[in-house]
Amino acid sequence: MTTTDSTKQTLAQLGVNSLEEVSSRFQQLRGVFDFAISEPNADWKSVRDTWLSRKSGLLSLITDNWLKPASPELKRAVGQELNKLKAHVESVLAERETAIETAAEQSAAARDKIDLSLPGIERAIGTRHLIRQTFDELQRIFLSIGFSVVEGPEIETPYYNFEALNIPEHHPARDNMDTFYIEGTRAPYLLRTHTSPMQIRTMEKQPPPVRIIVPGKVYRRDNPDSTHGYMFHQIEGLAVDTDITFCDFKGTVEYFVREFLGPKVKTRLRPSFFPFTEPSAEVDATCHVCGGTGCRVCKQSGWIELFGAGMVNPAVYGFVNYDPERLSGFAFGMGVDRLAMMKYGVPEVPLLFQNDVRFLRQFP
């Protein structure tokens, strides 16, 4: 019979009759408990259940079998010993539980500890997109000769996008085959097809002199292929003052081309037509591939078209209350995507917008 089996019998059955014997029985049980909990592999939860389980725990058995049936002479001593043992068992178990929890927390903390001597995690911070780089380069050039940058909305009214630019109601450019119109609005709205509306808005607001460039996204209703998207980037420029001549126009254009493509590149103006300029011109540069001798890229001509430009059509001044008798100016509109592709040898438009890092990394 083990010591703990004794709790299944009453004290009388065990032959315990004196206070000394009561005390020694409790002493023994305490020893049993201390031993169980001190075992290196002691599972505190099972020790706890053995001793404290409400139904079959040893302390419950002692209460039922020793205390309740105890003789009046021993009852008080049994109660006191039982309370002492219970307090001991509970406090040791509670101590053990906290110790185990603390140890678990400490080992978790040790696992998570940050080693400050390790090299940091390097994040790729990315680079400016080729189009942004080209915008920045174009802006740098025009800012260096006194232009300022103006930006405006991509959603516009037909008045600012067409009317005020001398593009009348039934002009083919206004066809909804070429322009995105926005449905469901009372007034007609559209996605601007060039950034010129902002030049009109600027002239409406401020008196001459005006020297501005307007960068931004513009939209044309086209089926996307290797040379077009339905959106492209543009920079338009406008200079208006009392004494601006064709020479200022030509000088500015030549300065720009040399800055953008290099000092060896030559420029030529070829007659063209835009409703908002008169005269109008296409600005060509000597071919960046063959240098002007003729190749496949320039179709043997030696020249590559860069952008459209011209002297502001006096009809435009009428829309912004500028005096066409007193004022003159020039304007130009360039496709940023096209210029970037030429300068950096990008063969197809979609490459610019797929955001494939293998492409983007070539232009750090």
Q: State the residues that interact with ligand 2NL by CB under 6 A.
A: 194, 196, 199-200, 236, 238, 274, 276-277, 307-310, 312, 316, 331-333
Q: Which is nearer to ligand 2NL, 6 or 161 (CB)?
A: 161
Paired sense of beta strands 148-149 and 210-219, if any: parallel
Residue 156: CB minimum distance to ligand 2NL, A: 13
| Residue in the block written with tokens 């459209």 | 308
Quote the least distance from Cβ 331 to ligand 2NL, whole Å: 3
Of 47 and 309, CB closest to ligand 2NL: 309
Q: Residue 280 Cβ, how far from ligand 2NL at the closest point, in Å?
A: 6
C-alpha–C-alpha distance, residues 233 and 228, integer Å? 11
Q: Which is nearer to ligand 2NL, 7 or 199 (CB)?
A: 199
**Which two three-digit tokens encode residue 83?**
């309370």
Q: Which residue is nearest to ligand 2NL (CB)?
A: 333
Name which of 6 and 195 has its Cβ closer to ligand 2NL.
195
**Token pair 């001190």 in the structure block, residue:** 38
Min. distance of Cβ 226 from ligand 2NL in angstroms? 20
Q: Which is it for the CA torsion 340, 342, 346, 351, positive or negative? A: positive
Please tell me the distance from the alpha carbon of residue 274 to that of residue 92, in angstroms, as a whole number: 96
d(CA 139, CA 141) in angstroms, rounded, equals 5
Q: Nearest approach, Cβ of 267 to ligand 2NL (angstroms)?
A: 16
Residue 215 or 333: the one with the smaller Cβ distance to ligand 2NL is: 333
Cβ 144 to ligand 2NL, closest distance in Å? 21
- Based on CB atoms, which residue is closest to ligand 2NL, 16 or 200? 200
Which strand (E) or helix (H) includes residue 133? Answer: helix 130-144
Query: What is the C-alpha separation between 360 and 352, in angstroms, rounded?
Result: 8
278 three-state secondary structure: strand
CB half-sphere exposure, 41, CA atoms < 13 A = 0
Run of H or E including 162: none
